[in-house]
Amino acid sequence: MKGGLQRWLIDELECGRVTRRRLLQMMGAVGVGLATTTRSGSALADGSLTILSWSGYDIPEMAPAYFDAHPAPNFTLMGSDEEGFQKVHAGFRPDLGHHTSFIVGKYRDAGLLKPIDRSRLTHIDDYFPELSQIVTMDGQLWEAPLSWGNSSVIYRRDKVEVTEESWGLLWDERYKGRIASRDSLEGLLIVGGLYTGAADPWAMSDAELAKAKAALLAQKELVRFYWSSQTDMEQAFANGEIVAAYGWNASVAMLRKQGIDMALMKCKEGIVTWTDGLVMMNGGSGSEDLAYEFINAYMSPEVGAFLINSYGYGSGNAKAYESVTDERLAELGITDPDVVISTSKFQREISSDIRQKYQAVFDEVKLS
């Protein structure tokens, strides 16, 4: 009974019918915990995998070959990459984690990861090479790539008059109180660096950082909120609370399904392309053979097609596009994914010393 209730509650969150905050209240009221939501109550007892992941990525469609052959993994859900890192850094030991590439180095430098054995990845030769290059260090692969997407300004076309395709929309005083930015270093400082013309937003000089800080302080007067929950941000769009935000392809796709006229902007300063995938954690108690079996199921072209059709993200597997209609690819702007990827401004790791500077600015802006 409780397992079915857990699944229903998570479905309510994924479909945007309830906010994450309200979901947690509902789960607490009936004694259900989000952090240990799993599709099988016996997952831990039977030795299956423990996976740190995102809501919506813990479903059979994301690894059908694995779910068909084995008990469902035990999924722990996170709201952000940083939240996931803090869980693991504090002692939680999953077997696999689903993360965005920019945080892989932080995990690696903390000694929390094992390198991925490329020879055990069944589909890796079908993947765009740029994706694995991002997470290769000293000749070792630290993440098995899965998907890619864009971070940009997303907005309601029925509520916003666009005069210029620019990150500047998030500084437009016409929409004061109806703008949202992301509650993260990447969402604030990288965007601030792009908007203010930093040569390299991932490695700004002190002068560039000061310029970005000034812009972010000015923006703070305009924002309704900084979002950490994608679902809360989407619901704010749906009810008209906000009309523009830092966001991703998936939010545009989800809101369009609800009949809301959304668009993702091709900003003149450049949009940021990210990649994500699975990392293998040190200290997990599950079978490494099962972990690779799950990774291979995750990386299949069938899962790639599901990602494109259902979430609006690009798949790293080039074969996935063969199973997607030309109309869908045109709608998402990825009819030529190899061209998009080869010309993208990929989100990169931020070195530890620069990250400390960024964190200080981030904290100052939020606390001002």
CA distances from 52 to 38, 77, 117, 192 (A): 11, 6, 20, 30
Mean pLDDT of the residues in the chain = 86
Share of the chain above pLDDT 90, in %: 63
Q: Give, in words, the CATH class of 149-272+348-367.
A: alpha beta
pLDDT reported for residue 47: 58
Mean pLDDT of 299-320: 95
Phi, psi of 114 (to 5 degrees): -110, 145
Q: Report the half-sphere exposure of 198 (CA within 13 A, side-chain side).
A: 22
Taking 70 as the threshold, does the pLDDT of residue 262 lie above it? yes
Superfamily of domain 2-146+275-339: Periplasmic binding protein-like II (3.40.190.10)
Tell me the pairing of strands 113-114 and 272-281: antiparallel
The better pLDDT of the pair 106, 174 is held by 174
8 A C-beta contact, residue 176 and residue 222: yes
In the chain, where the domains are located: 2-146+275-339, 149-272+348-367
pLDDT reported for residue 9: 52
Mean pLDDT of 343-362: 84
What stretch of H or E contains 114?
A: strand 113-114
**Residue reference for tokens 């013309």:** 197
Domains 2-146+275-339 and 149-272+348-367 share a fold: yes
Query: What's the first-to-final CA gap in the chain, in angstroms?
Result: 47
Taking 70 as the threshold, does the pLDDT of residue 31 lie above it? no
pLDDT reported for residue 45: 41
The better pLDDT of the pair 326, 352 is held by 326
Against a cut of 0.75, is the pTM above it?
A: no
CA distances from 295 to 45, 49, 78, 235 (A): 22, 11, 19, 32
Nearest Cα neighbor of 258 from 15, 6, 2 is 15
